[in-house]
């Protein structure tokens, strides 16, 4: 190692899956920006060229050919700065998750990811062959190794890099968010540092991709094991860091202290990406933001996790809408807690002028529900309409009357109301090209307390991985920023209002209790007997477990939604619909 400082740029940016040429254009622009900032090296996230995860696009020969061509074009453009560039690589029919070290139009070496994750949301064994050989390149007198994402979670690759002479370790990542993930990242890097003594530069992807949200928060760990404050959360940034001869790593540019107060949304000027994915949307107001003349609710003190989850959901919603070619969203606003939270999330993610809500009252809808929906829509400034479902509902009852003769009313008539509402939302979506949102939460999806082809109609479910208790936490948190959800919405008992004087707890255990059981049964894979042994009522636990098993078919037909736990329905938790297994 010599006495000069090595300046490293980290491209903590959003790369759209499958948009090879758009990602190439963006990468070339970032290369120019890093060069202008006098960086010696630009580190990209894992699979920046293809976006992550490209899934079965990797099985298409044309996709791999385009990746090879674009990688060649990027390589030829590199001059005056080194680049470590993440991309898929096909070599004689063998696919690799690769990072190429490029200097002056030449590839000095390619590192192929060794540890291919095949758990939770990851399926890399389906697509890639594991690499093995370390890659160490000298730059400004510093011998620098490269490993990719999961390789940092295992001891082997970093040790191999050190044994090959590395004095510094670069880690490109596509590491998706889940609650408490950042603490695990820091602990993992600390393990690698303890094993190798190497300083580490960790560059993460950012942005929403279907269910996943990549939250950025790139990291630096110096030779002494000290961690610099993370890069921005869920924001694009070209970060600059200096690596000094004494092993110190520190941010020098493109970085904002996450604890510093933010300007109000009207004063922010988001830096647009090459695809202009973010430039139009304001995001939630800063903590402590107020609307003149309205008081804040200071009774709720949110923890950091609730705040970051709110940001992750708005990021995932915004990016799903825009990346799939929509401009606006539409959903039913019932005056209940779930749809009210979705309204706040959508207004923060998209801007209120792109949000459309519809109250669809029936004979069972209370006047308070209609008033609260109207109040919130006016408060947040969104387009709102009221369409009664009584005429089509009555017409369907008349139509089905002969077939239902002699049968007592039951849940069929309740579900019919939900399906009329689903048709109205889908008609508005179809007519105006708005993306319909589903407002159900994880607790409801778990036990099937939602109507397939009814309130499950829609293209995206922002609360899919949020328990009912988490919904209340998020609602209270949002109101600490500025008034967004009427207090009466939060305090009133939840009800589907599909029958006279109906309450959710008529059909389900209290949500606080239900969520405790679901946490153990769904997220921790606990057995029914173990949960009962903790002191929970045996009949209640068995009933909840049975509902979870019986409603797999509903969840399989439901929309995607933002993942915030390690056992989200869908990618993380894959159960058969047709199954003879019962543990109830």
Neighbour-count burial of 129, counting CB atoms closer than 10 A to its CB (0-12 exposed, 13-18 middle, 19+ buried): middle
Helices (runs of H) and strands (runs of E) counted in the chain: 16, 18
| Phi–psi pair at 287, nearest 5 degrees | -55, 135
- Cα separation, 473 vs 447, whole angstroms: 21
Strands 237-243 and 6-12: antiparallel
Question: Which residue from 127, 132, 161, 118 is spatially nearest to 50, judged by alpha carbons?
Answer: 127
Residue among 188, 79, 285, 176 at smallest CA distance from 565: 176
Cα–Cα distance measured from residue 264 to residue 504, given in angstroms and rounded to the nearest whole number: 38
The vertex-572 CA angle with 571 and 575, nearest 5°, equals 85
CA distance 320 to 345: 13
Tokens found for residue 454: 């009814």
Cβ-based neighbours of 46, under 8 Å, separated by 6 or more: 52, 86, 97, 99, 113, 148, 149, 172, 173, 174, 205
Spatial distance between the Cα atoms of 536 and 530, rounded to a whole number of angstroms: 10
Three-class secondary structure of residue 499 per DSSP: coil
> Distances in Å between the alpha carbon of 30 and those of 23, 240, 361, 506?
10, 12, 51, 57
Please, are residues 81 and 35 in contact by the beta-carbon 8 Å criterion?
A: yes
Query: What are the backbone dihedrals phi and psi of residue 85, each rounded to the nearest 5 degrees, phi first?
Result: -115, 125
H-type alpha helices, 258-404:
304-323, 337-350, 367-380, 390-404
CA dihedral 161, 163, 165, 168 (to 10 degrees): 40
d(CA 50, CA 214): 15
Beta bridge mates, 219: 202
Longest dimension (CA), the chain: 91
Rounded Cα–Cα distance for residues 332 and 50 (Å): 36
Q: Which two tokens stand for residue 492?
A: 């009133």
Residues involved in catalysis: 46, 113, 149
> How far apart are alpha carbons 468 and 439 in whole angstroms?
11
Nearest to 173, CA basis, from 43, 13, 45, 48: 45
């Amino acid at each position: 190692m010599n006495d000069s400082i090595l300046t490293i740029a980290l491209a903590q940016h959003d790369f759209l899956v499958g948009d090879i040429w758009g990602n190439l254009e963006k990468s070339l622009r970032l290369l120019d920006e890093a060069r202008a900032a006098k960086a010696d090296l630009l580190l990209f996230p894992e699979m920046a060229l293809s976006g992550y995860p490209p899934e079965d696009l990797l099985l298409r020969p044309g996709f791999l050919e385009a990746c090879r061509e674009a990688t060649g074009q990027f390589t030829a453009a590199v001059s005056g700065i080194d680049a470590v560039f993440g991309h898929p690589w096909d070599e004689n029919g063998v696919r690799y998750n690769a990072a190429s070290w490029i200097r002056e139009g030449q590839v000095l070496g390619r590192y192929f990811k060794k540890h291919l994750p095949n758990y939770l949301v990851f399926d890399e064994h389906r697509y890639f062959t594991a690499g093995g050989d370390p890659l160490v390149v000298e730059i400004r007198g510093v011998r620098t190794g490269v490993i990719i994402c999961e390789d940092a979670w295992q001891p082997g690759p970093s040790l191999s890099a050190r044994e090959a002479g590395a004095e510094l370790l670069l880690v490109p990542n596509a590491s998706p968010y889940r609650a408490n993930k950042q603490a695990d990242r820091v602990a993992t890097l600390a393990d690698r540092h303890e094993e190798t003594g190497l300083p580490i530069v960790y560059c993460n992807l950012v942005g929403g991709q279907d269910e996943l949200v990549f939250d950025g928060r790139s990291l630096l760990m110096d030779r002494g094991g000290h961690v610099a404050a993370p890069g921005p959360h869920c924001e694009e940034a070209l970060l600059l860091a200096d690596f000094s001869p004494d092993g110190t790593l520190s941010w020098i540019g493109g970085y904002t202290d996450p604890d510093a107060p933010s300007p109000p949304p009207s004063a922010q000027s988001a830096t647009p990406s090459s695809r202009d994915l973010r430039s139009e949307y304001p995001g939630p107001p800063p903590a402590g933001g107020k609307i003149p003349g309205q008081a804040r609710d200071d009774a709720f003190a949110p923890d950091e996790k609730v705040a970051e989850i709110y940001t992750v959901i708005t990021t995932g919603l915004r990016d799903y809408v825009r990346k799939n070619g929509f401009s606006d969203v539409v959903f039913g606003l019932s005056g209940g807690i779930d749809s009210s939270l979705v309204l706040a999330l959508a207004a923060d993610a998209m801007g209120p002028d792109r949000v459309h809500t519809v109250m669809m009252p029936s004979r069972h809808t209370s006047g308070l529900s209609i008033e609260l929906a109207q109040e919130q829509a006016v408060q947040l400034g969104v387009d709102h309409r009221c369409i009664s479902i009584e005429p089509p509902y009555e017409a369907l009852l008349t139509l089905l009357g002969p077939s239902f003769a002699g049968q007592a009313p039951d849940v069929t008539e309740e579900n019919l109301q939900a399906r009329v509402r689903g048709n109205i939302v889908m008609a508005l979506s179809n007519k105006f090209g708005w993306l319909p949102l589903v407002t159900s939460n994880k607790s409801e999806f778990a036990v099937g307390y939602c109507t397939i082809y009814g309130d499950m109609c829609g293209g995206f479910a922002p609360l899919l991985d949020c328990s009912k208790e988490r919904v209340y936490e998020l609602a209270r948190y949002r109101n600490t920023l500025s008034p967004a959800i009427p207090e009466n919405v939060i305090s009133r008992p939840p009800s589907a209002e599909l029958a006279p004087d109906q309450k959710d707890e008529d059909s389900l255990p209290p949500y606080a209790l239900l969520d405790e059981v679901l946490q153990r049964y769904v997220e921790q894979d606990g057995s029914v007997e173990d949960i009962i042994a903790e002191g929970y009522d045996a009949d209640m636990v068995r009933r909840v477990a049975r509902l979870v098993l019986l409603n797999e078919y509903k969840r399989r037909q439901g929309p995607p939604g933002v993942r915030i736990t390690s056992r989200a329905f869908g990618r993380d938790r894959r159960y058969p619909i047709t199954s003879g297994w019962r543990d109830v």
